[in-house]
Structure 1
Amino acid sequence: MHIIPKDEHPLPKGPMPDYVSHKEGVNQVGKLSAEVIVREYEAAVKEIEALGAELKDAAKRCEETVAGVHSMVNEIKELAASYREEGKRYFLQIEECSLMTSEVRTVCEELKKKIATTIAA
């Protein structure tokens, strides 16, 4: 009878990792046990490395997002400066109009007085 394990994560097939090798004199049970353990660890290492790659990709996306935010902040600063200049321009225009209106009133008042004195004389 041959039993097939229902393991969701089967051990990798093929040669053992190159960082281990069997010692002379180890019996077959010891070799198989050691291989099973090192393959389990190697499978975990592959998952850890995959997690590292995912984290690296996430960090890259975060860096891209941060770079985009910095770019937007610069655009916002430019927009704020532009609005400030526009506000200053309207401020100066309104004050110029106010000065001109005051000057027109003064000229008109003086002209009225001159006309009134000319007519009265």
Structure 2
Amino acid sequence: MERRMSVSAEVLARAPLEQLQGEVDTMNSHRPRSNVRPLSPMPDYVEHRNGVNEVGKLSAEAVVREYEAAVKEIEALGTELQLAAKNCEAMVAGVHDMIAEIKEFAAGYRDQGKRFFLQIEAVALMTTEVRDTCEALKKKIATDTLS
């Protein structure tokens, strides 16, 4: 049974590679450029196997490039998260420094309060002592004057 080739297969089989490339370039020149992006090199963790046809190779390359593009975005997100973590760590370190300063300030303020407390009580004791002395002197003067 004789097998017939499709028209496109016959054209491909007969056309020289340069002619086909020219036709592809012509078709591409009439297409809008918004979705066209240059192909990135194939990742080094894959390589074509022997015997895979051109369509299979191109399909596999397209898929692995899309996966690789997604991987690049995932890695970029990881980099952003690392930067955010470093910023958080710096902020936390700054907060710890501030807490240490606040504790030091609070201790100094507490000491100052204690000093004022002791000064006020010392003045109160002295005032009581002065009153007691004045009272004792009044009594002595009154006793000496009467005697």
TM-score by length of 1: 0.92
For 1:42, the equivalent position in structure 2 comes to: 68
Distance 2:76 2:94 in 1: 27
Map of 2:4 onto structure 1: none
Larger radius of gyration: 2
Number of residue pairs aligned between Structure 1 and Structure 2: 119
Q: Which runs of 5+ in 1 are unaligned?
A: none
1:57 aligns with 2:88: no
Letter in 1 for 2:87: R
Distance 1:4 1:25, change over 3 A: farther
Shift of 1:113: 0.9
Q: TM-score, normalised by structure 2?
A: 0.76
The code of the aligned residue for 1:17 comes to: P
Residue deviations 1:94-115, cap 9 Å, x none?
1110000000001111111111
Alpha-carbon contact 1:22-1:31 (below 8 Å) kept: yes
Identity percentage over the alignment?
Answer: 65
Distance 1:105 1:12, change over 3 A: farther
Q: Distance in 2 between matches of 1:18 and 1:78?
A: 58
Conserved? CA contact 1:11–1:43, under 8 Å:
no
